[in-house]
Amino acid sequence: MRLVVKVLLVLLLVAVLPVAVSGISAIVVAKKAVAEAAAETLDAEARHLSEVAETTILGSLDDLKQASLLGLHQLSAAERPGALWVIYRADALRTAVVLLDGPTRDAVSAPVYQRVVSADPGLADHEAFSGSALERFATHVPLDEALAAGKAIGVPYADPERGAPFIVLAVKVPGPIVDGVERPWVVAVELSLRHLNERFAEAGDEGLVAFLTDLDGRVVCHTTSQQALSRPDFASNPGVQALFSLTSPVSGVVNLDDADDATLIAYARLSRLAGAQGRTWGVVVERSRSEALAAVHDLEQRVMFWVAAALLLALMAGVILARGVVQPIEVLTRVVARFGGEGAIVDDKNKVRAPALGNDEIGTLALAFNGMADQIERRDRQLRSFNDELQHKVDERTAELKEAQGQLIETQKMAAVGELGAGVAHEINNPLAAVLGSAQLALLRGDQADTRVRPHLEDIEREALRIRDIVESLLKLSQDKAGSAMGTVDVNSVIEGAIALVARPIITARIAVKKELAPSLPKVRGRAGELQQAVLQVLHNAKDAMPDGGTLTIRTDVLDGKLVRIVIEDTGQGVIPQHRERVLEPFFTTRANQGHKGMGLAVAHRIMQEHQGRIVVDSHGMGKGCSVKLSLPVTRDARTLI
């Protein structure tokens, strides 16, 4: 037998047979693996969409339950619309809010909604609500269910005019006492499911069909907007039937093992949205089996191509075997020359690399060359990445230095004012006592012979008392309390005490107090009295900023387990930008005509510095309120427990 024939037989055995066997085996394994992977993807998508839907609906319902804390029945008729606007603003998905009387089913107050969406913060993200939608909203309020269970979810409906699905949520709230019997009220909101439907529509970008069904098997949200608006009955769908089956698990794939079925279907229940007879809301996700296995079909074609190519190459190999040694060397020589002339890095599409030159020594050399080129390219990228990271760290450290410099300047200001205050107070107190005493003595004599003198004496007394108050504020600012013993302090208790001290003035000023105090708050190290004084100063400042009433929100939380933060927000007049940098300075005030001396925030700033904390004032704009944030480090024991 000639050598050429032997070479051809060996090449056919080595090249064609392994490709054919491995290709067919790979196709069989790939079909099963791809089907299982597609099923897992569908199952994960169904469970994810069910969690999103459940969180959207029940999260809004739980938030709405907080409306019972507003004490709506204790408000006047003029105050109730404002409370309804607070509920409306709390969730951008809410399009309308109404307060209903349970026994009569009449509206206690006019519904709250926007015909034209306002650009104001808290309103701009809501949807417009036309008058024609009001009747549809009213007919879907689950009033009886809310009165019976305390909260209820209405039957979903679609509004073709607004082009989105909606649902009505209702909660029972305390009502007025009539003849010794409470008349319950119900707060109902229309919740837009537009964003939820858009999330289902995104599944279409991945070749999926996903939809959300209610207790009757009717579509609520769908990948196709027409289906979401028409709300067809999908109760006969295999995925919906699995949702309603009492023997089916919470989630799963319906027909994974049925290779003849053209569609893969996964489902997931919304367990917390269950109804009678074991039915629940649910999500169904579908995908064409042929689309899921498209890659496997492509693999089949590739296998057939490569089997044919291997056969052809085996026949040609005997002819070109002699030339197979010289040509690879020439190719590798050209690649090396090009690499040395143009450099290692060109771009991802035009990399200088040696092609596959076989499994012999020349092929090994080509692989070694490619490995060397990859290593050079990788090191170059690492160097550039290191430079970028170094620049980023330099920018971060520069920002930290600027912030530290600002804090140092503020500290120096407060120290200078403290020293000045101590000196001025010492020099002013003695002559001031003489002036005040002389004026008061003259007034006590009761000499009214000259009525022109007495008003001047009263002016002297009033202004002298004002000077004395300013001197006392300076002394407070300059007092050094470092020698006093510090202990662990419960910040929530400090806040409760401060609120109790200003409760009467706040109530008189028609200010609603909203407390959001975090439970199990870590302790801080400090002096409870001084911290309460700092909080009092901020509360007084917030109260004075709302002469016509408003909402005062006090919130506590923990930042990274290291800082306890107190946030005090008001809906008052706010601070203009050019004043924000000066609000912590002593004697700076915009209400001097009201008798303010501008020492409240300065004293709070000094107390926070003594406790190694910070105070930050952030205004939301004129007429939009202001927030003051007090941050204190937690004790070491608290950090250990966190």
What's the chain's Rg over C-alpha atoms?
38
Q: Mean of the per-residue pLDDT values for the chain?
A: 80
Whether 566 contacts 554, CB under 8 Å: yes
Comparing 104-108, 159-163, 179-183, which segment has the lowest mean pLDDT?
A: 179-183
Q: How confident is the model at residue 93 (pLDDT cuts 50, 70, 90)?
A: very high
In a domain, 305, yes or no: no
In a domain, 312, yes or no: no
**Mean pLDDT on 125-137:** 89
Say whether both 83 and 113 belong to one domain. yes
**Phi, psi of 553, rounded to the nearest 5 degrees:** -105, 130
- Residue 482: its pLDDT value, please? 45
pLDDT of residue 34: 81
279: in domain:
yes
Torsion of CA 428, 429, 434, 436, to 10 degrees: 100
Question: pLDDT exceeding 70 applies to what percent of the chain?
Answer: 80
Q: How close are the terminal C-alpha atoms of the chain, in Å? A: 83
Same domain, 560 and 456: no
Whether 33 is in a domain gets the answer: no
Q: Identify the residue whose tokens are 């109902």.
A: 188
Q: pLDDT of 540-560, one tens digit each?
A: 888 888 888 899 999 999 988
- Alpha helices for 140-172 (secondary structure H): 143-149
Determine what percent of the chain is predicted with pLDDT higher than 90.
29
- Asked if residue 391 and residue 426 are part of one domain, the reply reads yes
Residue 637 pLDDT > 80? no
Which of these, 199, 161, 188, lies nearest to 56 by C-alpha position?
Answer: 199
Q: In whole angstroms, what is the distance from residue 219 CA to residue 157 CA?
A: 10
- Return the CATH number at 495: 3.30.565.10
Whether residue 58 sits in one domain with residue 200: yes
408 domain residue, yes or no:
yes
What angle do the packed helices 361-444 and 453-478 form, to 10 degrees?
Answer: 150
Segment 242-254 mean pLDDT: 88
Close Cβ partners of 29 (under 8 Å, ≥ 6 residues apart): none
- Please tell me the pTM assigned to this model: 0.47
Where is the domain boundary, 479, 508, 539? 479
Residue 184, token pair as written in the block: 């319950």
Residues forming a β-bridge with 569: 553, 627
Answer for the pair 104, 133: CB distance below 8 angstroms, yes or no.
no
**What CA–CA distances, in Å, run from 247 to 45, 209, 227, 243, 279?**
22, 25, 29, 10, 12
Span 146-177, pLDDT tens digits: 999 999 999 999 999 899 999 999 999 998 88
389 and 466 share one domain: yes
Q: Which residues have CB under 8 Å from 440's CB, separation 6+?
A: 461
Residues 442 and 577 in one domain: no
Return the H-helix or E-strand segment holding 324.
Answer: none
Band of residue 322 on the pLDDT scale cut at 50, 70, 90: very low
- Do 461 and 491 fall within a single domain? no
108 in the same domain as 72: yes
Q: How far apart are CA 532 and CA 501, in angstroms?
A: 10
The answer on pLDDT for 411 being more than 60 is no
Average pLDDT over residues 29-50: 87
Check pLDDT > 90 for residue 283.
Answer: yes
Per residue in 563-603, pLDDT (tens digit) is 999 999 998 887 777 676 667 777 667 665 555 555 777 88
**Residue-level pLDDT at 619:** 80
- Whether residue 188 contacts residue 143, with contact meaning beta carbons closer than 8 Å, is answered with yes
Check: CB of residue 150 under 8 Å from CB of residue 172: yes
Dihedral of the CA atoms 480, 407, 642, 564 (nearest 10)?
Answer: 70
On whether both 491 and 440 belong to a single domain, the answer is no
Q: Domain containing 523: what range?
A: 487-641
- Comparing C-alpha atoms, which of 125, 132, 229, 146 is closest to residue 189? 146
Q: Do both 465 and 507 map to the same domain?
A: no
Indicate if the alpha-carbon torsion angle 466, 467, 470, 476 is positive or negative.
Answer: negative
Whether 20 is in a domain gets the answer no
Q: Domain end: 246, 269, 291, which one?
A: 291
Residue ending a domain, among 479, 507, 524, is 479
pLDDT at 449: 43
Structure tokens at 496: 């409760």
The model's pLDDT over 49-90, given as tens digits with 9 standing for 90+, comes to 999 999 999 999 998 888 667 788 888 999 999 999 999 999
CA distance 294 to 38: 11
Say how many domains are in the chain: 3
Cα(42)–Cα(211) distance, integer angstroms: 12
Q: How far apart are CA 504 and CA 339, in angstroms?
A: 83
Which letter, b or e, does each residue of 56-76 get, where b requires 16 or more Cβ atoms within 10 Å of its Cβ?
A: bbbebbebbbebbebebbebe
Q: What's the pLDDT score for residue 596?
A: 57
Residue appearing with tokens 């709390």: 90
Given a cut of 50, whether residue 264 has pLDDT beyond it is yes
Same domain, 150 and 284: yes
User: Which helix (DSSP H) or strand (DSSP E) does residue 233 occupy?
Assistant: none
Pairing mode, strands 550-559 and 511-516: parallel
Instruction: Tell me what the mean pLDDT of segment 22-36 comes to.
Output: 77
Residue 372 above 60 pLDDT? yes
Q: What is the pLDDT of residue 453?
A: 75
Q: Is 432 in the same domain as 580?
A: no
Compute the average pLDDT of residues 16-39.
77
Residue 487 has pLDDT above 90, yes or no: no
- What DSSP character marks residue 350? S
Domain annotation covers residue 13:
no
User: Does 327 or 188 have the greater pLDDT score?
Assistant: 188
Q: How far apart are CA 218 and CA 107, in angstroms?
A: 30
Per-residue pLDDT at 368 exceeds 60: yes
User: Tens of pLDDT along 286-298?
Assistant: 988 888 777 777 7
3-class secondary-structure state, position 345:
coil
CATH code for position 220? 3.30.450.20
For residue 308, being part of any structural domain is answered with: no
